[in-house]
Structure 1
Amino acid sequence: MPSPDAGAPGSGPRRVAVVPDPPSPADDGDRRRARQARAGRNLPAAVAVGTALGVLVALALFVRKEAFVLLTAAAIVLALWELANAFRARRIRIPVVPVVVGGVGMLVSAFLAGPEALFVTFALTAFSSLLWRVLDGPNPVRDVTAGVFTAAYVPFLAGFALLMLAEDDGPYRVLAFLMVAIGSDIGGYAFGSVWGRHPLAPNVSPKKSWEGLLGSTVFAVVLGVLGVVLGLGGSWWAGVLLGVVVVVTATVGDLSESLLKRDLGIKDMGSLLPGHGGIMDRLDSLLPAAPVAWVLLALIVPVA
């Protein structure tokens, strides 16, 4: 039988309201994972590891300078191990023993004897790498080149941070440098993950954006002013200049390591630091910024 409403004037198909199901915990998890994939890191793990590293570095800086030298040496040895493994995937054999021994020697000589000793130790490391690889087997040119590059890229550049540490106000110089470099990373992540729309270098690192670079500059300049004025008794403009210069060099260093990883066909240099990747993935922006910060602070913020 037809329904009573079938012939009623103006009647039509009856509409049934559809109420969407409430989001399930699985949906929330999917969205959270999507945000983390866009940001490129596990944020809770990154924050926890970053905080622990910050506390460890601060304690090493202000308890004893030698403790910071040991901490830096440990980080550099691990970074060299990561690079050696990454190059080995391309059948490039870095002469690990002379590079590691020479790398630790560069750090110690920079802290104890100054820039001349750092340069001499680097030259000795390069020569010993050549000798080691020539005696170890045929076709050494590629391996020696990679070894010298690794020695220059990691321990030699890190030695400039220990040149800053050797000054009377060294802990505050290193702290100002680290504040600016880490602030650059945090600002770039915060601005880039929220507002990033315009890629900075899409062929090298697609997740980096001009908006992220703006955030890096804002954070680095603010922390640079705080570090220079409060820690070193310098002028505010010196902090601004330090922030801008470190942002430029840190960004170049970050992009350079991204280019190296792309060439080697890997995503991260390692996995020792949850949420960050490997040691080299944290040092990539610090290493090229260290010599620039050392020179700049020596020129515009003389030792008190």
Structure 2
Amino acid sequence: MSQVSEERDERVEHTPQPEPADQPEPGGQPEPAKKDSRAGRNLPAAIGVGLVLGAAIIVSLLTVRFIFIGVIAIAIGVGTFEFAGVLKRVANIKVAMIPVLVGGQAMIWLAWPFGRAGALTAFVLTVLACLLWRLPGGADGYLRDISASVFASAYLPLFGAFAAMLVPPEDGVGRVLTFLIAVVASDTGGYIAGVLGGKHPMAPSISPKKSWEGFAGSMVAGIVAGILTISLMLHGHTWQGAVFGAAIVLTATLGDLVESLIKRDLGIKDMGTLLPGHGGIMDRLDSLLPSAVVSWLLLSAFVPA
């Protein structure tokens, strides 16, 4: 026993000890540690980037509204690069980049003059091009790569094409703003309610910071935004605005959870680093993309062009 004790003492004596923490100068105060917000964001940077993006969108809509389709096309193109890059880097999944990029732009721009027919035709041709593009790579990983390519084509440009289809009608500015304001209200209401009173996790295994209190805040803010925008900008009924707002909250939340699952599956925190305080473009498109589809469907039914 004494030999074991002596060996243990010797190991302890020769074990490197951690350096003592820096002490403040006499009379000085230790520098406070920087704290992230409860939502896990660099809040000042996130607000600043959000204001810049919002200003760019509003300027495009209030000058030549069709410029907004170009904004969508650029965002989808960058998001596609981010998504494909992460899949290649983390999981060695190879998206058929050229067909998805070219086909994605075709979906968005053909949705302008031809509507659903243009977007869906471009999507089908993009899938066929992906099948052909991947053939020279052989059988190893073929199904995996094609599945990722088709998913990327549907999740980004096809969904984005529905946002582009909001623009052409005479009241297109009001339709786009109704869609965007509802999504922003959902995000903002959920953030405030979650920070102030979030206690009950909504999906702890997917997104630990998302709470039922935050979801309730999103629902209240989204419904109010839907009622105001549809009533004032599109001259619809109050009940239509309430239904629209609630539906957008559901799709925005679904989009956020889906992207959280994708990132957890890949073992990453953000899809990119382009937008300080937000991550990448994909990290901002998560709630917008599925909401664009539902916005077009409901606004087409409630307020026909």
Q: TM-score scaled by structure 1?
A: 0.88
Aligned AA for 2:133? W
What's the counterpart of residue 134 of structure 1? 135
Question: 1:23 and 1:98, CA in 2 relative to 1: closer, same or farther beyond 3 A?
Answer: farther
What is the alpha-carbon distance in structure 2 between the residues aligned to residue 35 and residue 90 of structure 1? 29
- Within the alignment, does 1:291 sit opposite 2:301 as a pair? no
Aligned to 1:156: 158
Residue type of the alignment partner of 1:109 = L
Gaps of 5+ in 1: 1-21
2:102 maps to: 101
2:84 — aligned with what? 84
Q: Name the counterpart of 2:238.
A: 236
CA positional deviation for 1:135: 2.6
Query: Does residue 1:26 correspond to 2:31, yes or no?
Result: yes
* CA–CA distance in structure 1, aligned partners of residues 169 and 160 of structure 2: 16
What secondary structure is seen at the aligned counterpart in 2 of 1:226? helix
2:196 alignment partner in structure 1: 194
Aligned alpha-carbon RMSD (Å)? 1.7
**SS at the partner of 1:267?**
coil
Q: Which amino acid aligns with 2:267?
A: G
Contact 2:155 2:289 (C-alpha < 8 Å) held by counterparts = yes
SS in 2 for 1:165: coil
Equivalence for 1:216? 218
Residue 276 (structure 2) aligns with? 274
Question: 2:41–2:277: 8 Å Cα contact kept in structure 1?
Answer: yes
Give the aligned partner of residue 56 of structure 1.
56
| Secondary structure class of the residue paired with 1:65 | coil
Q: Does 1:123 align with 2:128?
A: no
Equivalent position SS for 1:275: coil
Q: Displacement of 1:25 after TM fit? A: 7.4
Match of 1:66 in 2: 66
Q: How far apart are the structure 2 equivalents of 1:50 and 1:118?
A: 29
What letter is aligned with 1:60? S
Compared CA separation, residues 166 and 23, structure 1 to 2 (3 A): farther
1: CA distance between counterparts of 2:186 and 2:30? 34
SS of 1:232's partner is coil
Alpha-carbon deviations, 1:154-188, whole Å to 9, x = none? 00001111111122211110110000011111111
2:170 to 141, 147, 168: 168
Distance 2:212 2:239 in 1: 24
For 2:206, the equivalent position in structure 1 comes to 204
**Cα displacement (A) at 1:218:** 1.4
Structure 1 segments (4+ residues) deviating >3 Å: 22-25
Q: Report the 3-state secondary structure (helix = DSSP H, G, I; strand = E; otherwise coil) of the residue aligned with 2:221.
A: helix
Deviations 1:3-22 (A, max 9, x none): xxxxxxxxxxxxxxxxxxx9
- Tell me the equivalent position of 2:11: none
The alignment covers a number of residue pairs equal to 278
Cα offset, 1:149, TM superposition:
0.4
1:96-144, Cα deviation, whole Å (9 max, x unpaired): 0100000000000111211011111100001101101113444222111
Q: Secondary structure at the match of 1:34?
A: coil
Residues 233, 24 of structure 1: alpha-carbon distance in 2 compared, 3 angstrom cutoff: farther
Structure 2: gaps of 5 or more residues: 1-26
Structure 1 counterpart of 2:31, one-letter code: A
Letter in structure 2 aligned against 1:228: I
Cα distance between partner residues in 2 of 1:210 and 1:202: 11
Amino acid at match of 2:105: V
Q: Contact conserved, 1:238 with 1:301, CA < 8 A, in 2?
A: no
CA–CA distance in 2 between the matches of 1:24 and 1:259?
A: 43
The CA distance in 1 between the partners of 2:31 and 2:167, in whole Å, is 49
| Higher CA-based Rg | 1
DSSP-derived class of the 1:207 partner: strand
1:75 alignment partner in structure 2: 75
CA distance in 1, matches of 2:85, 2:291: 25
Percent of residue pairs bearing the same amino acid type:
47
TM-fit CA distance, 1:222 = 1.5
State the one-letter code of the partner of 1:40.
Answer: G
Contact map agreement 2:66 2:167 (CA 8 A) in 1: no
Aligned counterpart, 1:260: 262
Find the residue that maps to 1:167 and give its secondary structure. Answer: coil
Q: Deviation at 1:24?
A: 4.8
